[in-house]
Amino acid sequence: MDNTVRLWDPKTGEQLGRTLSGHRKWITCLAWEPLHLNPKANRLASSSKDGTVRVWDTTLRTCLFSVGGHTAAVTCVCWGGDGIIYTSSQDKTIKMWNGEGKLIKTLSGHAHWVNSLAISTGFVMRTGAFDHTGTRYDTPEKAIRMNLPLTAQERALERFKEALGSGTERLVSGSDDYTMYLWDPKNNKKPIARLVGHQKIVNHVSFSPDGRLIASASFDNSVKLWDGFSGKFITSLRGHVSAVYQVCWSSDSRLLVSASKDSTLKVWDIKTRKLKLDLPGHADEVFSVDWSPGGDKVASGGKDRVLKIWKN
C-alpha cells in the first residue's frame, strides 16, 4: 500500500501521467465527479485511512483541495448528482461537502463504524450518457439524426433527471453496528428508516439501477433486499456459507451477484428471489465483484490474486 492514486489506460494497461501523491495512509475509496456536472470528467475524489478526502484534477495531476473533518479513517466517498460529496467514516458519521470542500452537514445515528454508502442514482451517474445498449452520443450529427441531446453531458443530465423523477437522491449507509440507515440527505438530517435484520457487520450496500431496491451484504453469510424508498425489509438471500463481502446489480435490476469469503460468487434472480447460478472457481476468498454496464460480463477478484471474467 503506497498511499497513492494512479490513472491507467484500460486498453493498454499503462499508467497515464504521474502518480497522485499526498495521502499519508492507504486509499479506501474513489469517486468521479458525474459527467452531467462536469463534461471534462477530470475531477476525482479519494478517501483514505488517514481521515481525509482529497479531490484531484486528473488532467493537471494536482490536488485541488483536501477535507479533514472526520476524526477517524474515511471508509467511503460518493459524489452525488447535485454536486454534494458524501463521506463515511469510522468516527460513526456521514458528512456532506460541497464541490469546493465546504462542510454542509453531518448525518449521525450509527453506533459504530460506517463501512459503505450508496446513492439511489449511482448507476446512471456511473454510466453517464451511455445506456446498456451501448449507443454513443459523442457527435452532434449522430445526436441530431437520433433526435437526442447534442452532447454527452446533456444526455447524462437527461438520464439523471429521469432516474431522479420527482424526488431527491436517497442515500443508504451500512455499518459495523449491524444496521443500515436510509436517508433523504438533502432535506433532512434524520434518516427515513433504520434497517435492522442483519446479525453481524454490514460490509456493503447497493441500490439497484432503477433505484427501487437496496441490497446489503453481511458477515452473517446473507444478502438482504430492502425497499429503496421506505427501507422495508423484503427478503433474505441465503446460500453462502461464509461472510458476504460485496454485491452488484445487473443493469436491468433483474439479477444480483454476490461475492463471499466462501470462495464463490452467486447470482440471484430478483423476481423469484432464488439462486440462479453458483459460480465456483476462485481458490480463496472473493473480495470484489462488478457487473459491466452492458450486462454481458461480471468481473471478480479475490485473495487468490486472480481476476476472473464471467460471461453472462
Residue 255 placed within a domain: no
What is the reported pLDDT for 173?
A: 98
Contact by Cβ (8 Å): 222, 237? yes
Instruction: Tell me what the mean pLDDT of segment 140-156 comes to.
Output: 69
* pLDDT for the residue 75: 97
Q: How confident is the model at residue 111 (pLDDT cuts 50, 70, 90)?
A: very high
Grid cell listed for 151: 452532447
pLDDT given for residue 147 in this prediction: 64
DSSP string, 50-113: TS-EEEEETTTTEEEEEE---SS-EEEEEE-TTS-EEEEETTS-EEEE-TTS-EEEEE---SS-
Residue-level pLDDT at 133: 61
Give pLDDT, residue 260. Answer: 97
Q: Is residue 139 part of a domain?
A: yes
Question: When comparing pLDDT for 228 and 154, which is higher?
Answer: 228
Whether the pLDDT of residue 125 is over 60: the answer is: yes
For residue 11, what pLDDT is reported? 86
281 assigned to some structural domain: no
CA-to-CA dists, residue 165 to 13, 123, 174, 227, angstroms: 38, 15, 25, 17
Nearest residue to 256 (alpha-carbon basis) of 205, 307, 220? 205
Which pLDDT does position 150 carry in this prediction? 63
Residue 74 is predicted with a pLDDT of 98
| Residue 297 included in any domain | no
Of residues 130 and 105, which shows the higher confidence score?
A: 105
Summarize pLDDT for 255-303 with one digit per residue, the tens: 999 999 999 999 999 999 999 999 999 999 999 999 998 888 999 999 9
Q: Is 269 part of a structural domain of the chain?
A: no
Residue 136: the pLDDT is: 56
97 within a domain of the structure (yes/no): yes
pLDDT of 142 > 90? The answer is no
Asked if residue 62 is part of any domain, the answer here is yes
The Cα 9–Cα 57 span in angstroms is 17
pTM: 0.92
- In the predicted model, is pLDDT for residue 207 greater than 90? yes
Q: How far apart are CA 114 and CA 76, in angstroms?
A: 8
What CATH number does residue 129 fall under?
A: 2.130.10.10
Assigned domain for 133 exists: yes
At residue 24, φ and ψ (nearest 5 deg) are -95, -15
pLDDT of residue 134: 58
DSSP conformational letter for 158: H
pLDDT higher than threshold 60 for residue 90: yes
| Segments forming the whole domain that contains residue 175 | 4-244
Pairwise CA distance, residues 252 & 255, whole Å: 8
**Mean pLDDT score across all residues of the chain:** 92
Q: Residues 42-83: pLDDT tens digits? A: 999 999 999 999 999 999 999 999 999 999 999 999 999 999
Q: How many domains does the chain have?
A: 1
